[in-house]
A and B are shown apart, each in its own frame.
Chain A
């Protein structure tokens, strides 16, 4: 994998459903993996920074896991609420000190 990939591109779930989506990134020379939440008409905000293989981070109903050896991270949302509707981006810092590469995002819509 040369770039950061995310799947699915979009997701529609009912309120109360749990859901998850994937970020895939190059597994060599891993530095860190970021997750961002991007609500419509707002700007992206950082959710998680993940740096170690096996990392698991949690914020309320949202959690993320990291597998650096195989190059993927999962974001889980438990009991989705309408306010979870947003695009979720993952980003991969290409080296330690400069740019990050953003994935195309997963657009989540939670239907009340």
Chain B
């Protein structure tokens, strides 16, 4: 009963390093999202995908790239990490269709990233 799984759970990077965060879901959801959570800011959408092979920018996309090569996976990349990207990153997935339940988000456990 995995749901949404994020790896890694913690990571420390030096400024300028790159890394990829992996999100995997086993619920056959069409939509997947990457958020960042900062104190006092709530959840802010970085990028999202409404299906395999598609991605779109959210609220705060700068400095991040994403890919959705397989329906179950959504990758978030930081090409050149900056201290401003220190945050907790959450992946979520959702399904369209069922009336009243559209876009209910199912979240992963989060990835805590520190950029020094």
B-contacting residues of A (Cβ < 8 Å)? 31-32, 34, 36, 42-46, 49, 51, 89, 91, 93, 96-105
Contact = CB atoms under 8 A, between A and B. Distances in A.
Contact of A49 (B56, B58, B100): B100
B47 to A, nearest CB: 10
Contact of B103 (A32, A43, A104): A32
A34 B106 CA distance: 12
Nearest to A42: B109
Given A46-B104, A100-B103, A89 B42 contact: yes
- Chain A interface SS verdict (over half): loop
B58 A99 contact: yes
Contacts of A91: 105
B42 to A, nearest CB: 4
Contact of B45 (A45, A49, A89, A99): A99
B100 A51 contact: yes
Interface of B: 31, 33, 35, 40-45, 48, 50, 56, 58, 90, 96, 99-110
A34 B100 CA distance: 10
Dominant secondary structure of chain B at its interface with chain A? loop
A8 to B, nearest CB: 14
Contacts of B103: 32, 34, 93, 97-100
A101 B106 CA distance: 15
A97 B102 CA distance: 7
A43 B45 contact: no
B42 A49 contact: no
A43 B44 CA distance: 14
B58 A89 contact: no
A49 B110 contact: no
Of A31, A42, A44, most B-chain CB atoms within 10 Å? A44
B104 A34 contact: yes
Nearest to B47: A99
Contact of B42 (A34, A45, A98, A104): A104
A98 B107 contact: no
8 contacts: A31-B102, A32-B100, A36-B105, A43-B110, A91-B105, A99-B48, A100-B103, A105-B42
